[in-house]
Structure 1
Amino acid sequence: LVPELHYGPFLRDWWYFSDSQIQDSHIYAIPIRLGFQVALKLNLIIRIVRNLENPNIPGFICEGEGINSGVLSSSSAAINTIYGRVFGNKSKTKYPGATMLGFHNPYMIQQMLNNVDFRPFTICLYGIKIFMASIPDNNNYEGFASSFMYKYKQKQSVIWQKIEGGLFSISIFQDGEMVKQFQDITASSVWDQTNLLRNCNGVDLFGINHPLVQFKFKERYERLFPKTCTLDDWNHERIMRHMFKLYLKKHVPRNEDLWHRVLYRWYNQKSTIIEIKSFICDVYNDNHEISIREFRAWRVMFEAIGCKNITPFERDISDMEFWSRAKDPKGDIETILNLFSNGLLNTKLNSTIKNNEFKNYKDTTNVFWYSLRESLDSNPNGSNGKIRILSIVAENFIYEELMENLQ
């Protein structure tokens, strides 16, 4: 897509709206892509180019086998011109350009919509069809744009409305050229300058308050700033800052970098498991005591960004909480459960060994190595084919000792 064409003053010419689509603005337009071409019968093709008389609108060429329609203003005219030359004037069949270009073919439509982030739509106010050209991803409407056709000084014109730099602007185009521009700090005041549509509300003419536009604002914002994300989004600054504002901003200390340090450290450590309270306090490193509300906010935050509480015991045993950031936490769940069941987690109330298989193990060393073997058996291979050893246990031993005792 070409931004100045498909999202500019002349967007109405660069998107295809069928009659049904115009009646139902919930169905978006299909882009008329510059350079797009379709093969027709008799080895003919039709291509989309810029119009020679007005490069701001599309032109259409149908050509092949030494025959050329020239650049015409409609696809139907280009196609029927060539077919008339091929079959002669005897053929009374008229070919609809939109259909020949594939605008009614689901497969072709899907191809034309590839990588299209925003598709314009229309609203109707005061009997005017207003084309919504841009819905920004912010709350101050910066970058919002819309256009419609109306007469200015007795001549049909394109009315281009935009919010930019905190100002509301109206630009009037005739024959592809801007003939007048107005700017002011509000929609109403800028429309007052034009002396046009004086009985209409300026905000309404921009289209900002229309229910469908407001719905699309909300829809786009929620798509760009979701309420949940995955581990893959942890390096996406915009998404993570949005998560921080949603869940933590009101509850964490004033230094906004602390939350980022917590996630950065967890993301880059080998183990996917943390004990939430001690981990956060260690990152804070300022004797900060986490309040109940702050701790609750961290819980909600972790859950929203794809983490899972894998604590294997109830709070009457300990107030410690273990969390996993693994995409598939099943292995971490089994690992932490085995460690707890075998008495290898340092909780306030140490658990007792209930597994009957431990009756033959008389000292803690044997219990430890038995438990680690169980953890390895239950912990699945990672994506690289290597077994992950829980770092909270394994990092305290040299490789030779691990291999010797786990044989």
Structure 2
Amino acid sequence: MPKHRSITVSLVNIGRLIEDLHYGSYSRFWWKLNNKENNIYFPLRIGQKTKTCLNNYNFFVTIVAGNKDDAMLPGYLCQCNNYIGQIENDPSKAISLVYVQIFRNKTRFSGPLVLGWQDNNIVQQLSSDIPFAPIEILIDSLKIFIYGIGASSYENWRNADNQIKKRFEGETPNNVWKNSGQIKKYDGNQLFGLENSLIQNILQHKIPTCTSKEWDNIVIIELLYKYHLKRCTIANINWHQFFLDWLNQDNPIIELYSQLQDIYPKNYEFSDPILRAAGSYNITPWVNTESKYQFWTKSSQPTYERTMLKQLNQMGFLVSTPIHMPNSTRTFWNCFKRALDNNKKNCDGKRRILSIIADKFTYVELRSNLNVGDHTIFESRKYAQINGYGAPSLMKLIISHVKLKEESLKQFELFFTDKKNVNMSSYKTDNKTGLLVLYLQDHKQALWKKFRELYPDGMRRSSFMARLDGDRFQYKKDLGGLCMTCNECGYLVFAEIEKIIDTNIINPNIRKELINESQILKRYLRRDFSNTGRNMEYRVPD
């Protein structure tokens, strides 16, 4: 990316810290060095979202847990309008690939710049409200990454961790390290970080902590309150009662937000560093982006509770969203499920309806509340990206109809008023149009060829045949019971007479008059002769 390129970055969502990621064995991947001279780190928060305007398009980059290589490493997801890229290991690749898809241009952008890591204001916001900023100590080729300083409740082990393997004792740090027999070219003061200026400053300003057994000690609790909670809580809140109730209950596990709603207003965001400083542990088996509900324990050994909840969640006995949800929420899910059940499994059915909310809920929530499969959810999200949320499908064929010219319609009417082509019924009408029925003198294909010869620039065959559909135009084989009447009244004789007139009479006026007289006689036979049975005599003029 050129050095002169300048872009504006804004922080949309600051994100959250996850204890297992930011203060665990993978913590070194979740912190970035802000100032190399002062060795200051800032966190890569889960859900951190920034907005950048590139070429008049807004690009959103979000940090998520897990990438293509490891589920515990940070991943980067870029979105522009309705296009959502894949989760990438590198932020530069994430935004550059989406930029290629939008503009078909292989311009590359700096991921740290787009995420705002070079903006002091954004870095300052990301660094706010963190319980402990990691420290890095360099000793020759050794890099020591310290992501936490604290003490356990094991007094017999001198407050060491419960996973201790071997213990070395000595009067000084150097003697302790010498007794270990490890990396002898370094002394204990260096490896323990005691000569580092930042660690010395932390030891002088030690963060107050305690265990659950000390929650009834008002002096210790007041220290915790002043350090962690005083600047970010509501006045006149009996926050100490929260710890006392937890201390007195037999069950060490609580659901945090269910307990806090008794003392804090709705939608209040509680600062959890005080919980960690008070000796409690987050044992929630799902990430914060899946559900806001969290399980915490006051036990000094949270491994057992964390493993138990994780196994229950994997077996399906533990859900991230409570079953007893508000009536309005349950009504929403029931109505949506009813709409899905009443539609077919196609693009214009279930997928179109589910596309309205498919991007707003997780796979787990949609499966549990709507009883739909992962494939349906995936196809619904794809439908929303292509057509919009709940919009009609864009794939349907649009058929345009062109009206016939007035000249073409007149040609058609003129053709079917010629008695060479049709015979008009004297009494029978079409129910749909109310016009007299016309009996075709020949089959439709032969009439079309004749029409085409007379009017080569007239209407097309499809329009011609479409106008012959229905009950008004009938051919011999479709006359039904009328054939018996024709035979009885001798209509076939009149057809032969008309052929003789047409062949032998040259004068057109006389020919037309004779044909009309023949038609009058034919109608008389149909109307009167069959009813009266009288003999008749009809004279053809000479």
Please confirm whether the aligned pair reaches a TM-score higher than 0.5, indicating the same fold: no
Higher strand share: 1
Is the radius of gyration larger for structure 1 or structure 2?
2
Of the two structures, which has the highest relative contact order with CA contacts closer than 8 Å and spacing of 6 or more?
Answer: 1
